[in-house]
Amino acid sequence: MDLTKAILNVLQKLNKPIGVDEIAFRIRSTSSVVKEQLEKLSEAHLVKRIDADYSIDDKARNSGLKSIYNY
């Protein structure tokens, strides 16, 4: 599972906004690597930022995520 899928998987499973450190911990990566990826996902409107936390973008949850999880 690549980094993008792992991040989205964690955010969707927990279904609440969580911080970069916790995402990094849960996917056994590092905060800087995860932060870089989250910024890309945020630009692609797949995740949204709420203060210091991130969660799945509501529109992405309803539409595009299924194709990303094709594994």
List interacting residues with other proteins (CB under 8 A). 13-14, 21-22, 25-26, 28-33, 66-71
- Smallest CA-to-CA distance from 23 within 42, 10, 9, 40 is with 10
What's the closest the beta carbon of residue 20 comes to other proteins, in angstroms? 11
Q: Give CA–CA dist 33/3, Å, rounded.
A: 9
Considering beta carbons, is residue 28 or 43 the nearer one to other proteins? 28
Min CB(50)–other proteins separation in Å: 19
Closest CB to other proteins among residues 29, 55: 29
Q: How many CB atoms lie within 10 A of CB 6?
A: 17
